[in-house]
Amino acid sequence: MSLDMVFLYLSAALAVGIPAIATGWAQSRIGPAAAAALAEKPELTVTVVLLIAIPETLAILGFVIAVLILMQGGG
């Protein structure tokens, strides 16, 4: 495997990996707060689900970018 390909795969991995970690971190902060809020106000379920789903955009866009890197680079 050439060095170019190594960097290609590494950059794709970073493109999806870093946002995934960021998403996990954001959700780890939102989750406990959301659980506490739900314990007091169960009617906030929808808002809570949305709040937890919002950081997932990072991971999803990271995944899209990773795919683009791989496809453009011929990986």
Partner 1 sequence: MSRIRVLGPREQLGAVLERVQDLGLVQLVEPAERESLNLLGLTPEQERHVRGVRQIVKDVDAAIELLGKTVSPPRAPQDIELPQAALIAGRCRRELEGLAEQRQGLEEERALILKFRPFFAAFQKIGESGLDLDGIRVFYLVLKEDGEDELRRMRAAFRQALGDGFELLSQPSDSGDSAMLLAVPSADAMKAEQLLSEAGVQALSLPDQFEEQSVGATIQRMQARLGELPGELATIERERRRIAEDRGRDLARIQATVRDHLATIEATEKAVVTPRAFVLEGWIPSAARPELDRQLGKSFGNQIEVEAVSSEEWAGDTVPVVLHNPRLFRPFEAITGMMPLPKYGTVDPTPFVAVFFPMFFGIVLGDIGYGTILGIVSLILRIRSRPDTTLRSVSEIGLACSLFAIIFGFLYGELFGDLGHRIGLHPIIFNREEAFFPFLGFAVALGIVHIVLGLLVGAVKMFRGDKRRAIGKGMAALMVVLIALALMAAFGMLPERFFTPLVITALAALPILIIGEGVLAPIELVSTLGNVLSYARIMAVGTASVMMAVVANRMVGAFGAIWVGVLFALVFHLINFVLGVFSPTIHMLRLHYVEFFGKFYSPGGSQYRPFRHWSARESASEERSK
Chain residues that interact with partner 1, rule: CB under 8 A: 45-46, 49-50, 53-54, 56-57, 60-61, 63-64, 67-68, 71
In terms of CB distance, is 36 or 61 closer to partner 1? Answer: 61
3-state secondary structure of 28: helix
Cβ nearer to partner 1, comparing 14 with 65: 65
- Tell me, what DSSP letter sits at residue 54? T
Nearest to partner 1 of 3, 46 (CB atom): 46
* Sign of the CA dihedral with 39 first, then 44, 45, and 48 last: negative
Structure tokens at 50: 């949305």
